[in-house]
Structure 1
Amino acid sequence: MTITISTFYVFTAIDPNQLITEKAWLLDVMKQHHILGTILLAHEGLNATICGEDAPLEACIAAIKARYDCDFRQTLSTHESYPFHKAKVRIKPTLVKLGAEIHDAEQVGTYLSPREWNELLQQDDVVLLDTRNVYETHLGTFKGAIDPNTRKFNHLPAYTLEHLAHAKDKKLATFCTGGIRCEKYTAWLKEQGFTQVYHLEGGILRYLHEIPEEESLWEGSCYVFDDRVAVKHGHAVDREASNCPNCGHTLTAKDLTSEHYVHGVRCRHCDSYPPSNYDLLEQGTTH
């Protein structure tokens, strides 16, 4: 069996008083088409990673687009089985929690396609920032990227003000898993006076889908919020990546050789990153 996985987000106004109704509708359309995965629902739109067989998935996506009178670009991949166990719709106060006020969320940074991204990163005076959390960056990132070592996305504004003030007049290139975190973050950056702000359209997932490994500037694998754990170029599953069942931190093959690792019990990250320190379901969304 081949299962197609669709990752997408869309900003569209939804009446806050109708969120419970919309949750019920989304769950119904997912179950009708035998679709599994997670949709985050807020007054500002949808953020999702869902999966199913090709034709039912296409029908589900078409129904969602018609329901909200919107269009969006998906990042698609395939897997030999369902990477989710249930159909879930979660109502959230916001799709991604930046932790800082944004006055105009539509004034985002300049979108770059994966190939335009490669061209930018070859230029001088570019500050490259990974906006994801430490349990994600542990598995991989772009060559030369700054890792802010954050445990939650809403820690990023404070990090930026403390460590990146020097970059306000430089080219600041940002990236995340699927693109939605950078939508919020780049809008905030522009309000803070950063003048040349860019972000990778479609995020790492689109980059790994479109850029051949021999042309890639990516190193390692990309954490995803489902049973695959992490993917590499072409969205091939990284079979060596896993999660600690105790603290939730990502694990590489090297982590499994640590003297602090006990299979199914704990890992070398447990003391530094207890579960209360971050929320793996924060999900700069589902992606």
Structure 2
Amino acid sequence: MNEAPYQVLLYYFYTTIENPEAYRDEHRALCERLELKGRIIVGNEGINGTVSGTVENCAEYMKALETDPLTAGIEFKIDPEEGHVFPKLSIKARTEIVTLGLGEEDFSPNEVTGNYLEPSEWREAMLDPNAVLLDVRNAYEAELGKFKNAIVPPVEAFRDTPQWVRENRHLFEGKKILTYCTGGIRCEKFSGFMVKEGFGDVNQLHGGIVKYGKDPATKGEDFEGQLYVFDQRIAVPVNSKNPSVIAHCIHCDEPCERYVNCANKDCNAQHFCCESCEEKSERYCCGECKEHMTARLEREAAAQAAQ
């Protein structure tokens, strides 16, 4: 079997970047030379990115970051692919490389963060009767997949999670707190936030769900569903030991991990829909959206006929 010609690289690194704008421009030149595509955020606190490219070009890119004193020690999570998973390259300079929005209370994970647990340690920690798992991703990501028995805050943005935790302290006080996210970057920051909030036993899954799924010892055990990713793949398998499906078609409620976008262009909501229901629903997420789009098309047709 031939190896896939492309790779997807997921990475982050907390480090002080004095001039994010200048670093962004230099980094863009590197990525363009290597014909990489993806999304990269650069800030005073470091770099966060996901890119795709040929195996050869990805190898050169990784070497460039690994040998740069600014990012020495960076770790990459690698997935094989048949082609690019992004339509273009986007590199932006922002205040935060992951938006927690703490303002004056902001801090560096290099100074305060939770205890790192490797995949095997995480699997063992989940069995602790005093453990509580906290998913620090957005709620819609967890609809596709999450760890068994995890608490999923009902938030649509990472910056809303601190307030939710403050309002629900009773769920975590006196517990062994296990935080997790996609690749680890959000946990680096959020586990540190929980330490600063006064919680005692705060831990994080080192390398996130991605590393847990790739680890030969854990093989993604007890992760339910699939991993939501922010590229053209959308869903990535994690559990090769005891896989399950937790998502359901919004129309018939049958198990389903198939995403479609609402046919109402003003809605465009991403939702789970099986092939059978896509045909019946005409890909609308609800009756209201179908009525809205039908009325819009009728108005547009009438306006065109009047010309």
TM-score of the two chains, using structure 2 as the length reference: 0.78
Give the letter for the 2:259 counterpart.
S
Residue matched to 1:242:
259
Q: 2:75 is paired with a residue of what secondary structure? A: coil
| Among candidates 144, 150, 158, match of residue 153 of structure 1 | 158
Change (3 A) 1:69 1:152: closer
Q: 1:31 is paired with a residue of what secondary structure? A: helix
Cα contact 1:109–1:187 (8 A) shared by 2: yes
Q: Within 2, Cα distance between the matches of 1:227 and 1:270?
A: 28
Residue matched to 1:33:
34
- Larger RCO, structures 1/2 (Cα 8 Å, 6+ apart): 1
Matched, 1:9 2:26: no
Residue matched to 1:187:
192
Q: Within 2, Cα distance between the matches of 1:241 and 1:37?
A: 23
| Among candidates 91, 102, 106, match of residue 102 of structure 1 | 106
Aligned length: 265
Give ranges in structure 1 of 5+ residues lacking alignment.
272-287
Q: Within 1, Cα distance between the matches of 2:96 and 2:276?
A: 36
Give ranges in structure 2 of 5+ residues lacking alignment.
246-255, 290-307
Alpha-carbon displacement from aligned partner over 1:131-190 (angstroms, at most 9, x marks no partner): 111220110101001111211111101110111334222101010011111111111100
Superposition pairs of residues 152-231 of structure 1, within 5 angstroms:
152-210=157-215, 216-231=221-236
Give the letter for the 1:102 counterpart.
D
Residue matched to 2:129:
124
Q: 1:182 is paired with a residue of what secondary structure? A: helix
Cα contact 1:260–1:267 (8 A) shared by 2: no
Q: Within 2, Cα distance between the matches of 1:103 and 1:207?
A: 27
Cα contact 2:13–2:47 (8 A) shared by 1: yes
Q: Within 2, Cα distance between the matches of 1:167 and 1:25?
A: 43
Q: 2:95 is paired with a residue of what secondary structure? A: coil
Give the letter for the 2:39 counterpart.
T
1:241: Cα distance to partner?
A: 3.3
Alpha-carbon displacement from aligned partner over 1:27-84 (angstroms, at most 9, x marks no partner): 1111111211111111111001111111211111221233325221111111122101
Q: Within 2, Cα distance between the matches of 1:32 and 1:252?
A: 38
Cα contact 2:38–2:86 (8 A) shared by 1: yes
Change (3 A) 1:30 1:112: same
Superposition pairs of residues 24-103 of structure 1, within 5 angstroms:
24-67=25-68, 68-100=70-102, 101-103=105-107
Change (3 A) 1:124 1:260: farther
Find the structure with the greater CA-based Rg: 2
Q: Within 1, Cα distance between the matches of 2:44 and 2:281?
A: 42
Q: Once superposed, what is the RMSD of the aligned Cα atoms?
A: 2.8
Q: Within 1, Cα distance between the matches of 2:231 and 2:114?
A: 28
Change (3 A) 1:207 1:69: closer
| Among candidates 128, 134, 148, match of residue 143 of structure 1 | 148
Q: 1:97 is paired with a residue of what secondary structure? A: coil
1:20: Cα distance to partner?
A: 2.3
Q: Within 2, Cα distance between the matches of 1:12 and 1:47?
A: 11
Residue matched to 2:251:
none
Residue matched to 1:21:
22
Cα contact 1:99–1:157 (8 A) shared by 2: no
Change (3 A) 1:69 1:145: closer
Alpha-carbon displacement from aligned partner over 1:174-218 (angstroms, at most 9, x marks no partner): 100111111111111001110000111111111112257876010
Residue matched to 1:283:
none
Percent sequence identity is: 29
Residue matched to 2:277:
257
Change (3 A) 1:96 1:255: farther
Q: Within 1, Cα distance between the matches of 2:127 and 2:95?
A: 39
